[in-house]
């Protein structure tokens, strides 16, 4: 049994430790459960309040709706009453009108019957006058009532409108409050759901802890028997020890009592022996001294005096004993109060130490958590900096790609400009060929030129398609980069929200630390107050100690006096006073021991005071440390806020860069759209050119006549001019979107072609032939409405126009034969205003424009000057007008010569554009 006792003790200690840990965990979990339940109850109460508010608001809303319905019903009733009043007014008006008609008819009838009685006529006039007055009065009353009802109706309407607005405002406010309350309720519900989840988790943990406790209890039950036996044996041994100790104490008390009784008996025996000896001596002296009666009387007087002194000393001793008892009681009270104050100070110091330890541990944990959070924020900041550098690198790559795209676009613009120059050169070549070519060679050169233009257009289309593919690839890359930047932006925003959340948590922790600091300050102030009160008590104790010391001195003086008295008594030789002397010595020893005890207590109080001072200094040091930690936490919070501001600035810069990227993307999309529109227009032009070439070949194959071939060549040249004009005018609107061929942003090719057509129409209005003017007006609309019209149709229209000219020549001859001078004047007025140099310059300009259009897809460095283009257009228009004038003059000469053939060729204009072409002599 003795060997198993240590093992059992170790097991018991382990079990006790486990039980303590389990109890502490259970207590912590129960505290957490109580906190969570309290929060749940608070949330339930708040949700109940919110539901009550919602119910009140719904009831208020129903009440307002009911009031609105009541007002609407009142409004309807008022409308019905107003309608009834209007009907009554109409009825009254109709009745009055009927009465007035009756009166008027009666008056007329009486007026017609003037042959009748004159007295009846006067009575009827008076009746009519009275009816008229009544009618006027009733009409005035009706107008007044109508105005009054109208004003009342307007007033009621205004009131109803105001009430309706107020009710609508109240309803909107109620709806907004209901929405806010719903949001609050949803938030509280989410919080309640979160708390219920936490409750479930804690319940699970609590169940796990209970299962663990059950296992531990099962393990503990195994050792209960041994523990019980050990406890029983220990209890028996303890009872035996206590019994022996009690017996020992009883025996010691009895022994002390016996020793005291023995000492008292011995003292009494000694006193009795001394008294006997003294009496024996006195008897011997009286027997053998032979003294006189005077000596006996003197001895008696001395004896009586000694007795009186002894009584006085006994009284003084009794007084001293009472004073000593009072001092002992006061001393006991002081000791008890000191002991209670010591215990209270110890408890308070222990509580303060425990609280400081708890605060120290909590602050240490919070500081650790803050340090962890700061480390996490530092890591997040480094990660954000890495992301920032990555985004900057991506943005730099995007800028490089953008520069490359711009370079590619510039190269494409240069290529398009080269194509434009090429087309201008082709236009100049076509114009030179039109000026030089005659007969079949003109059609062959035009076909060859058209084929070359088709090949150039096909190459331009291929280049445009390639450029479009390149731009589409670049756009896809830009979209991918934009998506990556958006993703990085979202990640940065998430990190910023997390940093903001951490900042709020840090702020809450700092607030908690401030609250704890306030509590510490309160406790510190309370401890300072307690220390001040204890110091005041210690000062009081010191005053009491000084008073006791004064009393001690006075008692010492009294003891000295008593000692002198005892010495005088001893010198006198009374043996009866020795017992009192011994008692006084014992009392003096007791007083000295009590004074020593008081000095010891005073030293102990001073030691405790020093300890309290040390604890106060420690508390002050801990308070300074807590303040330093709080300042460090505030510095860390400021750093975190600074990092958050930096992150926000970075986010703003990233957002700005994202916006710039989006703008660049939109610009690229616009450029792609313009390129697509240009490619579509080029395809349409290609289809139109192919159709015209096919129609031209068919017309050349079908018509072998020289006149028809000349008309076909002129028509093909006009179609060629219209084709070049359409290409130039289609490229002109792209100036607003980045090209150099237009003057307005967003203009279409039809507008420029319409302007050219209008210029041709203006030129043709000066012609003398109305049929040609009509044909020209019809042909001017063809580029706008019928862009895909074939060349054969144009040839047919030209043949019809030639037939109309042939039909119109006799009429013109008949009309012009009486006045040949007028024709001469007209011919003189329509002289050809261009010389050879101006024609060459126009031809060179057209050739350069064709060259620019042709070389546009290969070179983008050259640009078309819009002013030169407009001047060229005006010169061509004037040239066409001059050709019209020369043609009309030649037709007049032909008519004047009587239909004779002309030696020179007649210059005709095409039906579509009015371009000049030469024909063979008639």
pLDDT band at 94 (very low <50, low <70, confident <90, very high): low
DSSP state for residue 114 in the 8-state scheme: T
Cα distance between residue 769 and residue 1, in whole Å:
148
Q: pLDDT tens digits, residue range 680-728?
A: 777 777 777 677 677 666 666 665 444 344 444 444 444 444 444 444 4
Count the neighbouring beta carbons within 10 Å of the beta carbon of residue 225.
9
The answer to whether the Cα torsion of 741, 745, 749, 752 is positive or negative is negative
Q: pLDDT tens digits, residue range 257-271?
A: 777 777 777 777 777
Question: 886 with 830: CB under 8 angstroms?
Answer: yes
Lowest mean pLDDT among 250-254, 287-291, 340-344, 569-573: 287-291
Residues in the chain: 922
DSSP state for residue 242 in the 8-state scheme: H
What are the structure tokens assigned to 116, written together? 């009748």
Cα distance between residue 717 and residue 640, in whole Å:
79
Cα distance between residue 644 and residue 497, in whole Å:
9
pTM for this predicted structure: 0.23
Cα distance between residue 414 and residue 838, in whole Å:
30
Task: Characterize 527-554 residue by residue with b for buried, 16 or more Cβ atoms within 10 angstroms of its Cβ, and e for exposed.
Answer: beebbeebeeebeebeeebeebeebbee
Q: Residue 859 is inside which H or E element, if any?
A: none
Cα 590 from chain centre: 85
At 325 the three-state DSSP class reads helix
Give percent above pLDDT 90 in the chain. 0
Query: What are the domain boundaries of the chain?
Result: 31-205, 344-412+421-434+443-687, 705-918
Mean predicted confidence (pLDDT) in 309-331: 71
Note the pLDDT of residue 466: 79
Task: Characterize 803-825 residue by residue with b for buried, 16 or more Cβ atoms within 10 angstroms of its Cβ, and e for exposed.
Answer: ebbeebeeebbeebeeeeeebee
- Burial class for 826, CB neighbours closer than 10 Å (0-12, 13-18, 19+): middle
* Strand 856-858 relative to strand 907-909, pairing: unpaired
Q: pLDDT tens digits, residue range 873-885?
A: 677 667 667 766 7
Cα distance between residue 674 and residue 112, in whole Å:
94
In 3-state terms the chain splits into helix, strand, coil percentages (rounded to 5) of 90, 0, 10
What are the structure tokens assigned to 798, written together? 């030209």
First to last CA, the chain: 154
Cα distance between residue 555 and residue 324, in whole Å:
9
Q: pLDDT tens digits, residue range 189-213?
A: 787 777 777 777 777 877 777 777 7
Tell which phi-psi region holds residue 902, choosing left (phi > 0), alpha (psi between -120 and 50) or beta. beta
pLDDT band at 290 (very low <50, low <70, confident <90, very high): very low
**Residue whose C-alpha is closest to residue 910's, from 720, 747, 737:** 720
Q: pLDDT tens digits, residue range 611-636?
A: 777 777 777 777 787 778 777 777 77
Note the pLDDT of residue 771: 41
Note the pLDDT of residue 831: 45
pLDDT band at 114 (very low <50, low <70, confident <90, very high): very low
Cα distance between residue 48 and residue 45, in whole Å:
5
Please calculate the CA angle 596-602-605 and round it to the nearest 5 degrees. Answer: 145
Tell which phi-psi region holds residue 437, choosing left (phi > 0), alpha (psi between -120 and 50) or beta. beta
DSSP track, 570-584: HHHT-GGGHHHHHHH
Note the pLDDT of residue 759: 39
Cα distance between residue 838 and residue 863, in whole Å:
23
Note the pLDDT of residue 429: 66
Cα 898 from chain centre: 94
DSSP track, 860-881: -S----HHHHHHHHHHHHHHHH
> Which residue matches tokens 């006058």?
129
pLDDT band at 75 (very low <50, low <70, confident <90, very high): confident
Cα distance between residue 861 and residue 85, in whole Å:
87
Note the pLDDT of residue 814: 41
Look at residue 141 and tell me whether its pLDDT is greater than 60.
Answer: yes
Most confident residue range from 403-407, 674-678, 755-759, 809-813 = 403-407
What top-level class would CATH report for the domain 31-205? mainly alpha
Cα distance between residue 789 and residue 879, in whole Å:
26
Backbone angles phi, psi at 860, to 5 degrees: -115, 10
What are the structure tokens assigned to 824, written together? 């001469």
Note the pLDDT of residue 17: 61
Cα distance between residue 579 and residue 222, in whole Å:
71
Contacts of residue 212, defined as CB under 8 A and 6 or more positions apart, other chains included, come to 22
What are the structure tokens assigned to 604, written together? 């102990």
Note the pLDDT of residue 873: 66
Cα distance between residue 921 and residue 905, in whole Å:
5
Cα distance between residue 886 and residue 766, in whole Å:
12
Contacts of residue 719, defined as CB under 8 A and 6 or more positions apart, other chains included, come to 692, 696, 791, 794, 910, 912
Question: 591 with 553: CB under 8 angstroms?
Answer: no
């Amino acid at each position: 049994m003795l060997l198993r006792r240590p093992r059992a003790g170790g097991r018991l200690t382990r079990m006790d430790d486990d039980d303590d840990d389990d109890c502490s965990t259970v207590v912590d979990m129960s505290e957490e459960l109580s906190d969570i339940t309290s929060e749940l109850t608070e949330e339930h109460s708040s949700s109940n309040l919110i539901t009550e508010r919602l119910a009140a608001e719904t009831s208020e809303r129903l009440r307002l709706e009911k009031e609105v319905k009541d007002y609407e019903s009142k409004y309807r009733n008022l409308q019905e009453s107003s309608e009834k009043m209007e009907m009554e007014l109409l009825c009254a008006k109709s009745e009055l009108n009927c009465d007035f008609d009756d009166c008027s008819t009666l008056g007329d009838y009486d007026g017609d019957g003037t042959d009748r009685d004159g007295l009846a006529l006067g009575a009827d006039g008076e009746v009519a006058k009275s009816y008229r007055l009544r009618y006027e009065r009733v009409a005035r009353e009706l107008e007044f009532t109508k105005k009054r009802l109208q004003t009342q109706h307007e007033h009621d309407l205004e009131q109803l409108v105001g009430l309706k607005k107020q009710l609508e405002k109240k309803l909107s406010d109620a709806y907004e409050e209901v929405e806010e309350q719903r949001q609050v309720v949803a938030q509280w519900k989410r919080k309640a759901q979160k708390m219920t989840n936490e409750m479930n988790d804690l319940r699970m943990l609590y169940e796990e802890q209970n299962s663990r406790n059950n296992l531990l209890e099962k393990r503990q039950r195994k050792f209960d028997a041994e523990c019980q036996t050990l406890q029983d044996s220990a209890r028996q041994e303890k009872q035996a020890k206590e019994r022996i100790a009690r017996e020992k104490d009883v025996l010691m008390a009895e022994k002390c009592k016996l020793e005291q009784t023995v000492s008292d008996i011995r003292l009494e025996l000694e006193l009795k022996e001394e008294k006997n000896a003294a009496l024996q001596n006195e008897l011997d002296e009286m027997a053998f001294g032979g003294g006189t009666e005077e000596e006996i009387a003197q001895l008696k007087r001395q004896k009586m005096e000694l007795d009186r002194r002894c009584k006085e000393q006994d009284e003084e001793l009794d007084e001293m004993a009472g004073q000593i008892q009072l001092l002992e009681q006061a001393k006991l009270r002081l000791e008890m109060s000191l002991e209670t104050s010591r215990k209270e100070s110890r408890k308070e110091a222990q509580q303060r130490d425990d609280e400081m330890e708890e605060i120290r541990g909590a602050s240490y944990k919070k500081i650790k958590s803050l340090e962890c959070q700061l480390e996490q924020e530092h890591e997040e900041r480094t990660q954000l900096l890495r992301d920032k550098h990555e985004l900057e690198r991506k943005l730099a790559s995007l800028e490089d790609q953008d520069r490359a795209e711009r370079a590619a676009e510039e190269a494409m613009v240069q290529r398009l400009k080269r194509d434009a120059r090429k087309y201008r050169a082709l236009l100049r070549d076509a114009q030179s060929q039109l000026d030089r070519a005659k007969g079949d060679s003109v059609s062959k050169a035009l076909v060859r030129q058209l084929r070359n233009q088709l090949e150039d257009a096909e190459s331009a289309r291929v280049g445009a398609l390639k450029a479009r593919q390149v731009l589409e690839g670049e756009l896809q890359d830009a979209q991918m980069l934009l998506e990556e930047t958006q993703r990085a932006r979202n990640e940065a925003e998430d990190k910023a929200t997390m940093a903001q959340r951490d900042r709020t948590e840090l702020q809450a922790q700092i607030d908690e630390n401030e609250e704890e600091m306030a509590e510490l300050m309160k406790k510190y102030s309370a401890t300072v107050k307690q220390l001040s009160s204890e110091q005041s008590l210690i000062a009081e104790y010191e005053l009491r100690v000084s008073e006791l010391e004064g009393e001690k001195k006075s008692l010492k003086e009294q003891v000295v006096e008593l000692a002198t008295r005892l010495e005088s008594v001893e010198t006198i030789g009374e043996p009866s006073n020795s017992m009192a002397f011994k008692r006084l010595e014992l009392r003096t020893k007791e007083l000295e021991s009590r004074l020593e005890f008081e000095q010891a207590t005073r030293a102990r109080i001073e030691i405790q005071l020093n300890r309290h001072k040390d604890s106060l200094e420690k508390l002050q040091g801990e308070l300074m440390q807590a303040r330093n930690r709080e300042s460090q936490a505030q510095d860390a919070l400021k750093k975190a806020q600074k990092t958050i501001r930096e992150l926000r600035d970075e986010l703003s810069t990233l957002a700005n860069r994202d916006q710039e990227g989006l703008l660049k993307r939109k610009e690229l999309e616009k450029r792609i759209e313009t390129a697509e529109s240009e490619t579509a227009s080029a395809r349409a032009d290609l289809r139109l050119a192919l159709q015209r070439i096919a129609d031209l070949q068919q017309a050349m194959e079908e018509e072998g006549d020289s006149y028809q071939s000349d008309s076909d060549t002129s028509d093909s040249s006009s179609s060629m001019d219209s084709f070049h004009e359409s290409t130039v005018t289609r490229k002109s609107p792209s100036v607003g979107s980045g090209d150099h061929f237009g003057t307005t942003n967003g203009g279409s090719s039809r507008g420029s072609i319409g302007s050219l057509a209008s210029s041709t129409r203006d030129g043709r209005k000066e012609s003398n032939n109305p049929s040609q003017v009509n044909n020209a007006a019809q042909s001017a609309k063809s580029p706008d409405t019928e862009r895909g019209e074939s060349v054969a149709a144009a040839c047919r229209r030209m043949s019809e126009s030639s037939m109309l000219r042939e039909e119109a020549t006799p009429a013109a001859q008949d009309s012009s034969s009486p006045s040949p001078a007028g024709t001469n004047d007209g011919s003189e007025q329509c002289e050809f205003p261009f010389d050879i140099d101006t024609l060459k310059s126009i031809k060179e300009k057209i050739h350069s424009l064709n060259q620019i259009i042709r070389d546009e897809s290969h070179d983008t460095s050259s640009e078309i000057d819009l002013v030169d283009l407009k001047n060229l257009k005006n010169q061509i228009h004037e040239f066409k007008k001059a050709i019209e004038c020369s043609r009309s003059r030649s037709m007049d000469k032909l008519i004047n010569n009587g239909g004779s053939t002309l030696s020179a060729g007649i210059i005709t204009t095409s039906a579509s554009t009015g371009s000049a072409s030469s024909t063979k002599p008639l």
